[in-house]
């Protein structure tokens, strides 16, 4: 077995089903080894999307996603996606190729200090130095990625650890010129390289690969659960906010939903928690979160930090009891210290809290007040969904897309203004059916996330909601969708502008510089890559195009709908800092 085969064996034992990559000579044995072990190798057109895809797989399956990229620029291309995974607390493993061990620092192709580059953006970064260490390092990486606060791990693997010993020895064989005996310097070099090669491979065949261990969830302390239950029992106007970290363990989503129902208090869902209670649940509120918090006498943040989205904690009244559950002590105490701190898995905390609560269901009047405000906002939004005279009203488009969503569908959010409009008007049908970048606000996640999501959930109708700005980051991945038979449906909200930025920039600075785009034929580009393209130019075309797009996806084709949007002020004043 070469080094690539050893790595593949560990991946197989860890339950990895896909390896995302863009090929390179530094990592070829990993790709070949994975294929031979039955792991699907999915090659993309830009390395950043390999990591985004691995991230999506981790979020939907609970098994760390895996990507492998070549050295130098192959690795630097992944930085945005790695940082996004770190801030979103998503567990993944990134293998980076590297120059041969004896050539490091000597000007070899693509040889840079990769460890210094990656360390700030991952939970753990390591460089393997001997073949016999590969199994142990990779197994440990899976544990690190999943334990405590999940996150990405980087493993640098020099190319001479991946090929068979005979091949590496042929690389390092010091050769004298024909017709003469080797010089003393040549003999010394041959001896050094021989010893170095022996060290690389010594003991490699004595490795053994273990079954993947169960990673224990970090439990909140019983004292914190008891204190939270006591405070909640005394509250009259409680509000619960649930974020992505509560869904770190996808297998517990149903138990978490039952726990929230058992608590019987109004809840706002964000990030991966969107859709947790299905559509139209009486406890779930979609609008007016700030006003609800302003009136609350108790606030629970479950896997949600008090960051810019809550105005750095200022949305929570000083008079309210503040309860926080989070795997990260740093996040839990950021900007505002909670009255009750439950350091542990946020989802498990809510499950334990529901079991410890003496009684539930006594907040009917409070829920009715928030529900009435929520319904009033829905009426306001519906009033803004009137068909546009020219082109398409984005609110109208999103509401009509919502009407045709399958029960088992996944929505991938990649954009600014158009995608935020969709978040107000479209409802994931159940848990683990909404993917967005998270706190980093990264544009460009669309194709990678959709690729990982569709592979992990092949039966689910997978939609990418693109702005016409964000689609530029990953449009070429329609080639990947077509080659690998991944039939996603992408909808581009095309208003020929970076509208979320332009709206405020023009009003404050009087200039739209850098914001205008063209009404580009994105659908034709998708067709060129092997997909199916559609155009929506007016309201009357919405339903027939959506129906045709769904049919094409069912037939196995990736689809892009280029929807030309009319100007709107629906989200005026919504920019965040």
Strands 461-467 and 532-536, sheet pairing: unpaired
Residue 99: helix, strand or coil by DSSP?
coil
Strands 409-414 and 340-343, sheet pairing: unpaired
> What is the side-by-side strand order in the sheet with 65-69?
40-43, 18-22, 65-69, 92-98, 152-158, 124-127
pLDDT at 575 (0 to 100): 56
Long-range own/partner contacts, residues 500-505 (CB < 8 A, 24 or more apart)? 500/416, 500/417, 500/420, 500/571, 500/574, 500/575, 501/416, 501/575, 503/417, 503/569, 503/571, 503/572, 503/575, 504/573, 504/575
Spatial contact of 340 and 237, defined as CB atoms under 8 Å apart: no
pLDDT at 79 (0 to 100): 98
Whole-Å CA distances, 61 to 66, 215, 253, 302, 429 = 12, 14, 11, 21, 18
What is the C-alpha to C-alpha distance for residues 238 and 266, in angstroms, rounded to an integer?
Answer: 7
For residue 343, give the DSSP letter. E
E strand residue ranges, 303-397: 321-326, 340-343
What is the C-alpha to C-alpha distance for residues 88 and 82, in angstroms, rounded to an integer?
Answer: 10
Cα 394 → chain centroid = 25
What is the C-alpha to C-alpha distance for residues 191 and 368, in angstroms, rounded to an integer?
Answer: 82
Phi, psi of 461 (to 5 degrees): -75, 120
What is the C-alpha to C-alpha distance for residues 136 and 256, in angstroms, rounded to an integer?
Answer: 34
In order of their start, the domains of the chain are: 3-163 (3.40.50.970), 222-371 (3.40.50.1220), 384-564 (3.40.50.970)
Residue 445: helix, strand or coil by DSSP?
coil
Max intra-chain CA distance, the chain: 98
Residue 85: helix, strand or coil by DSSP?
helix
What is the C-alpha to C-alpha distance for residues 370 and 240, in angstroms, rounded to an integer?
Answer: 13
- Given CA atoms 79, 83, 84, 90 in this order, what sign does their dihedral have? positive
Phi, psi of 501 (to 5 degrees): -80, -45
For residue 485, give the DSSP letter. T
pLDDT tens string for the chain (577 positions)? 899 999 999 999 999 999 999 999 899 999 999 999 999 999 999 999 999 999 999 999 999 999 999 999 999 999 999 999 999 999 999 999 999 888 788 888 788 899 999 999 999 999 999 999 999 999 999 999 999 999 999 999 999 999 998 888 888 875 555 667 878 887 888 888 888 888 889 998 999 999 999 999 999 999 999 999 999 999 999 999 999 999 999 999 999 999 999 999 999 999 999 999 999 999 999 999 999 999 999 999 999 999 999 999 999 999 999 999 999 999 999 999 999 999 999 999 999 999 999 776 689 999 999 999 999 999 999 999 999 989 999 999 999 999 999 999 999 999 999 999 999 999 999 999 999 999 999 999 999 999 999 999 999 999 999 999 999 999 999 999 999 999 999 999 999 999 989 988 999 999 999 999 999 999 999 999 999 999 999 999 999 999 999 999 999 999 999 999 998 776 665 555 5
Whole-Å CA distances, 159 to 28, 207, 377, 417 = 9, 19, 58, 44
Phi, psi of 264 (to 5 degrees): 70, 35
């Amino acid at each position: 077995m070469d080094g690539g085969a050893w790595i593949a064996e560990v991946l197989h034992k860890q339950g990895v089903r896909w390896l995302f990559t863009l090929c390179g000579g530094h990592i070829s044995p990993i790709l070949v080894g994975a294929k031979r072990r039955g792991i699907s190798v999915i090659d993309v057109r830009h390395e950043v999307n390999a990591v985004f895809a691995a991230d999506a797989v981790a979020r939907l399956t609970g098994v760390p996603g895996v990507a492998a990229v070549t050295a130098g620029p192959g690795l630097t291309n992944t930085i945005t996606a790695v940082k996004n995974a770190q801030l979103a607390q998503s567990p993944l493993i990134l293998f980076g190729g590297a120059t041969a061990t004896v050539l490091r620092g000597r000007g070899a192709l693509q040889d840079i200090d990769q460890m210094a580059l990656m360390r700030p953006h991952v939970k753990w970064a390591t460089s393997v130095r001997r073949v016999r260490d590969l199994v142990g390092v990779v197994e440990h990486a899976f544990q690190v990625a999943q334990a405590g606060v999940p996150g990405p791990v980087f493993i640098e693997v020099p190319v001479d650890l991946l090929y068979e010993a005979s091949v590496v020895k042929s690389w390092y064989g010091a050769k004298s010129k024909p017709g003469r005996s080797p010089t003393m310097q040549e003999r010394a070099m041959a001896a050094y390289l021989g010893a170095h090669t022996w060290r690389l491979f010594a003991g490699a065949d004595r490795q053994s690969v273990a079954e993947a261990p169960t990673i224990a969830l970090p439990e909140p302390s019983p004292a914190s659960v008891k204190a939270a239950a006591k405070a909640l029992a005394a509250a009259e106007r409680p509000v619960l906010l649930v974020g992505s970290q509560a869904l770190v363990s996808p297998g517990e989503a149903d138990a978490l939903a039952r726990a929230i129902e058992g608590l019987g208090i109004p809840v706002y869902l964000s990030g991966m928690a969107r859709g947790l209670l299905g559509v139209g649940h009486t406890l779930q509120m979609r609008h007016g979160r700030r006003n609800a918090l302003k009136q609350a006498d108790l606030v629970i943040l479950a896997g949600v930090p008090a960051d810019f989205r809550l105005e750095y904690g200022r949305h929570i009244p000083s008079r309210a009891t503040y309860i926080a559950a989070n795997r990260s002590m740093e996040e839990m105490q950021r900007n505002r210290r909670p009255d009750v701190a439950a350091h542990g898995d946020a989802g498990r905390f809510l499950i334990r809290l529901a079991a410890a609560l003496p009684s539930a269901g006594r907040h009917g009047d409070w829920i009715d007040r928030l529900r009435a405000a929520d319904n009033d906002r829905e009426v306001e939004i519906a009033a803004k969904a009137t068909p546009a005279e020219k082109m398409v009203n984005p609110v109208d488009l999103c509401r009509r897309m919502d009407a045709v969503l399958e029960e088992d569908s996944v929505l991938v959010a990649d954009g600014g203004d158009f995608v935020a409009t969709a978040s107000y008007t479209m409802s994931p049908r159940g848990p683990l059916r909404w993917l967005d970048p998270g706190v980093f606000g990264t544009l460009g996640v669309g194709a990678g996330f959709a690729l990982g999501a569709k592979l992990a959930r092949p039966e689910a109708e997978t939609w990418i909601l693109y702005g016409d700005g964000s689609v530029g980051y990953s449009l070429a991945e329609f080639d990947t969708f077509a080659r690998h038979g991944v039939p996603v449906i992408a909808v581009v909200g095309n208003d020929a502008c970076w509208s979320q930025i332009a709206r405020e920039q023009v009003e404050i600075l009087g200039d739209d510089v850098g914001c205008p785009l063209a009404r580009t034929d994105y659908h034709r580009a998708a067709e060129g890559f092997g997909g199916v393209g559609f155009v929506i130019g007016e309201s009357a075309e919405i339903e027939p195009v959506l129906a045709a797009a769904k049919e094409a996806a069912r037939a196995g084709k990736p689809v892009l709908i280029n929807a030309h949007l009319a100007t709107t002020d629906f989200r005026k004043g919504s920019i965040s800092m």
